[in-house]
Amino acid sequence: MNQAITSQALSFCPVIPAADEPEGQIRDAEGNVWIQIKADHASDVSLIIYEQKFPFIKEEGIWKLKYPGKDGITLVQLQIDGMNVLTPYLPICYGYSRPYNYVSIETEEEFYYLKNVPHGTVRQEYFYSDITGEWERCFVYTPVEYEECPEKRYPVLYLQHGHGENETGWIEEGKVHFIMDNLIQAKEAKPFIIVMNNGMVQTKNAEGKRIVDHTIFPEYLIKDVIPYIDKKYRTIKNKDSRAMAGLSMGSIQTSITAFEYPEYFSYIGLFSGFLRDFIQGDKIMDMVQRGKASDKHLRILDSKETFKNNLKIFFRAMGENDIFIQKFLEEDELLSKKDISCIRIIYEGGHDWNVWRRCIRDFAKLLF
């Protein structure tokens, strides 16, 4: 797979490295992956993976680390003499609210690979939001036949990222466009449009300081985004032709939006996902400085019949080693108490893109 266009669009060209700089990620004859950094005057170089620190060793002027991570994609933090550093010699994505390095190791799972199949198109759209009072951007995936069948209309999935990420995540890290191209070619999923918005919605507080307020997103999606997409794209404008899904924070936004506006969506996907809003009131993640959420959107669960009649697919999934697995299990109990059924999957893995890629693959097969 050509990593120059699939993994390293925001970093170096592996074919033409800078003078005297080693390639950031190599594989030796035994199949081990090594991370390499040139830092001539450094006394300590480390790689941090999920808060665990792994020291490099220096050999012939190059700092080297036998990569301790797993296959797939893992976000990593390079640290030189105690300072967090972004290196151009590893792929770069957007995570933790800033540009972030990651390591990508191809796996036997090829469902997200760039393959020799017809490919859809990813567009950037800019539009003014009356809710945020700002210009906003979203990414829109259209299947390959969208251009070939100019009279045909398509259902839409509104797909959200997690906290500290943005609208690029499902393309750059998730590879959702490749996943969809491959599924459609294999006739495992129907062609549909995917809209990816920035869920870290910004506003200003009483002092005029810009802050993030994730709770603005539902109204923003319903009043700004959906009308814009329905006007510009050949969508099918009804409930049965709309789905919403999201990972982590995006799953909270999905729950709130879909339950508060049940007339809009017939398919819901919660990836590493939650029914309750535990971000509101959190001392670190909630910049608005308010009390815990009332979770009034969960009133829809009080009527099993109403809930069932509103949704065709209710999909929940989590990695078995996810840091939030206990919250997921607690919500299992809530749904059981309410006698609400769902499609529930536990994947191998944690709170990361390797799980979320599998989530969208399996959810997409169920849509429309």
Tell me the pLDDT tens digit for each residue of 113-156: 999 999 999 999 999 999 999 999 999 999 999 999 999 999 99
pLDDT score of 3 more than 90:
no
Q: Is-contact 141 170, C-beta < 8 A? A: no
Is the predicted pLDDT of residue 8 greater than 70, yes or no? Answer: no
Q: What is the pLDDT of residue 45?
A: 96
> Quick one: pLDDT band at residue 20, thresholds 50, 70, 90?
confident
Expressed in angstroms, the distance from the first to the final Cα of the chain is 31
Give the span between the Cα atoms of 330 and 276, in whole angstroms.
10
Separation CA 270–CA 285 (nearest Å): 19
Pairwise pLDDT comparison (256 vs 207), residue with the higher score: 256
Mean pLDDT of the chain: 94
What is the mean pLDDT of the segment spanning 280-291?
90
DSSP E strands, 86-231 = 92-95, 98-105, 121-129, 134-142, 156-160, 193-197, 202-204, 210-212
Mean pLDDT of 4-12: 65
Q: Determine contact, residues 112/171, Cβ cutoff 8 Å.
A: no
Residue 170 vs residues 16, 174, 224: alpha-carbon distances, Å: 28, 4, 21
What would the pLDDT profile of 328-368 be if each residue is shown by its tens digit? 999 999 999 999 999 999 999 999 999 999 999 999 999 99
What is the full DSSP assignment across 194-235?
EEEE--S-EEE-TTS-EEE-GGGHHHHIIIIIHHHHHHHS-B
Is 180 a residue whose pLDDT tops 70? Answer: yes
Q: Which amino acid is at 152?
A: K
Instruction: Write the pLDDT tens digit of every residue in 41-56.
Output: 999 999 999 989 999 9
Residue 85 has pLDDT above 80, yes or no: yes
Give mean pLDDT, residues 4-21.
69
Q: Phi and psi (nearest 5°) for 6?
A: -105, -25
